[in-house]
Amino acid sequence: MKQNTSTALLKLFVIAVAAVAFGLAAFSVGLGAGVAIQSRSPAAARPSVEVAQELVCPSADQELAAQPTAQPTATPASSRRATGDMPFFGQQADDSPLDIELFDEAWRLLEQQFYGDLPQGKEVTYAAIRGVLASLGDKHTTFADPEEAAMFNMDMQGVFEGIGAQVNLAADGGVELQYLFADQPAEKAGLRVGDVVIAVDGQDITNLDLNAAVSRIRGPRGTQVTLTIRRGNDKPFDVTVTRARIELQVVETKTLADGKIEYIALTDFSTLAPRRLAVALSAAVAKKPAGIVLDLRGNPGGLLDSAIQVGSYFVPEGNILIERYKDGNEEVHPRRGRYLLGDIPLAVLVDGGSASASEIVAGAIQDAGTGVLIGEKTYGKGSVQLSNVLSDDSQLKITIARWFTPKDRAIHGQGLEPDIVVPFTNEDHEAGRDPQLDRAVEYLLQGK
């Protein structure tokens, strides 16, 4: 057992004694791999609870990841000791306010008395960390084991293996399908936007965090997963889906209103997003349309750097965001690179699934006055996470700051109010209508 007298993780292990000894809730986390969206079918009518993370995990997160990634800060305990006098997590640090011996005492009682199976090896350590994080009251400070971390990193490259759906935590537990990728496994299996996955291969997931739930749904291409679905007030039912390799489209384009309006949808802020959006936006501007629609509905965010680059395409001067830390210090992020929009009118579609990096871009555009926001209030995720890679390749994402729009408007817990409010109901979705897009086209053609 490695010992470290000053690491933060050692402290985390002991704080989690309550989660380990009495709740065991943190131990229910499963291992596996994910899900992914629908061809631009807005999910605005459904409640948005938890930050929208592409079930690719941007993120698992999916989350606004600050860069650069921090270096390892601790050496976690490697495995469970069978017996002996040595406390489970080693000696207590002299300067630690935590009682390691108490944790060891609780663990030994669990071994002797608990009617059921206990986690083994590093799963104990991981569960302890998750237990501590759950006590912080910050759903964006999260831990991912090495397999989940690898999944997240792959997502940020725009490719993953899963069922082809974008999800978010549902209000009553489980994960809600917010979008389905066209012609991908979830859609082919008959799943719908708004369906809630409550169990995976017979195992309940309603008490799991988003990372853990996603990891159970995902898996290698060609393998099957059985999802228990809650659809409205219907009795839950099972659907078996064969996983596949999903390559995120990232950008979708089309021409509307007899060639007068160019439409661009951005599905995430991965490393691919800035380059692909630049190509699409440049092509749209070259056509000299009456207006451009930028669709950020259901976009859960991604990388801070990508958000700054994308925002700069639509903001000719000034800043993209303000990052403020708890000690009052702040960092201003100015625009950089090329301004691509020119003088073409812009309408930005947003909804309750527009989160994090999407809100950075939408807020910067709204403050700069280069476009109007149309749709519904955004999610309200205005915090920044630093992703720390630990010594075993697990990742600890810690909320380090909150961000504000260039005009110092707070977004966290509040969201952005559209300039033009247009609801999108389940009835609209079932009927194949898109009143938000229709209103954007009307605004660009008529100027009001």
Task: Quick: pLDDT tens for 346-361.
Answer: 999 999 989 999 999 9
User: Using CA atoms, how far apart are residues 281 and 286, in angstroms rounded to an integer?
Assistant: 9
User: What DSSP character marks residue 19?
Assistant: I
User: Using CA atoms, how far apart are residues 310 and 233, in angstroms rounded to an integer?
Assistant: 41
258 φ/ψ angles, rounded to the nearest 5 degrees: 55, 40
Q: What is the CA radius of gyration of the chain?
A: 23
Report cis status (omega within 30 of 0) of the bond before 146.
Answer: no
Residues 146 and 189 in one domain: yes
Residues 56 and 191 in one domain: yes
Helix (H, G, I), strand (E, B) or coil at 277: helix
Angle at 287 between CA 286 and CA 288, to 5 degrees: 90
Residues 366 and 346 in one domain: yes
State which residues form the domain around 48.
Answer: 8-244
pLDDT band at 429 (very low <50, low <70, confident <90, very high): confident
CATH of the domain at 152: 2.30.42.10
CATH of the domain at 407: 3.90.226.10
Instruction: Classify residue 2: in a domain, yes or no.
Output: no
Q: Pick from 361, 345, 357, 351: which is nearest to 435 by CA?
A: 351
Residues 239 and 259 in one domain: no
Task: Quick: pLDDT tens for 214-230.
Answer: 889 988 999 999 999 99
Helix (H, G, I), strand (E, B) or coil at 115: coil
pLDDT at 120 over 70: yes
Residues 299 and 212 in one domain: no
pLDDT of residue 290: 97
Angle between helices 357-368 and 304-314 (to 10 degrees): 30
pLDDT band at 194 (very low <50, low <70, confident <90, very high): confident
**pLDDT above 70 as % of the chain:** 77
Residues 415 and 271 in one domain: yes
pLDDT of residue 121: 87
pLDDT band at 139 (very low <50, low <70, confident <90, very high): confident
pLDDT of residue 369: 97
Positions marked active-site? 356, 367, 381
Query: For the chain, how far is it from start to end, CA to CA, in angstroms?
Result: 68
Residues 256 and 324 in one domain: yes
Please state whether beta strands 372-375 and 346-350 pair in parallel, antiparallel, or not at all (unpaired). parallel
Tokens coding 368:
């700069």
Q: Which residues contact 106 (CB under 8 A, 6 or more apart)?
A: 17, 20, 21
Q: What is the pTM of this model?
A: 0.68
Task: Quick: pLDDT tens for 83-111.
Answer: 233 344 445 555 666 788 898 899 999 99
pLDDT at 43 over 50: no
* CA dihedral angle for residue 387, residue 276, residue 416, residue 133, rounded to 10 degrees: -20
pLDDT at 423 over 90: yes
CB 372 within 8 A of CB 402: no
Angle at 164 between CA 166 and CA 42, to 5 degrees: 40
Residues 221 and 279 in one domain: no
Residues 259 and 382 in one domain: yes
pLDDT at 317 over 90: yes
Count of the separate structural domains present in the chain: 2
Task: Quick: pLDDT tens for 263-304.
Answer: 999 988 988 899 999 999 999 999 999 999 999 998 988 889
pLDDT at 446 over 60: yes
Sign, Cα dihedral of 55, 60, 61, 66: negative
Other Cβ atoms within 10 Å of 93 Cβ, number? 17
Residues 233 and 295 in one domain: no
Residues 227 and 90 in one domain: yes
Instruction: Classify residue 68: in a domain, yes or no.
Output: yes
CB 75 within 8 A of CB 6: no
Q: Which residue has the higher pLDDT, 369 or 66?
A: 369
* Mean pLDDT, the chain, whole residue set: 79
pLDDT band at 328 (very low <50, low <70, confident <90, very high): confident
Helix (H, G, I), strand (E, B) or coil at 192: coil
Residue after which a domain boundary falls, among 225, 244, 263: 244
pLDDT of residue 2: 37
Instruction: Classify residue 332: in a domain, yes or no.
Output: yes
Average pLDDT over residues 14-33: 28
pLDDT at 241 over 70: yes
pLDDT of residue 94: 59
pLDDT of residue 154: 64
Q: Which residue has the higher pLDDT, 150 or 251?
A: 251
Average pLDDT over residues 230-257: 92
User: Using CA atoms, how far apart are residues 419 and 438, in angstroms rounded to an integer?
Assistant: 15
pLDDT band at 57 (very low <50, low <70, confident <90, very high): very low
Instruction: Give the residues across from 303 on adjacent strands.
Output: 65
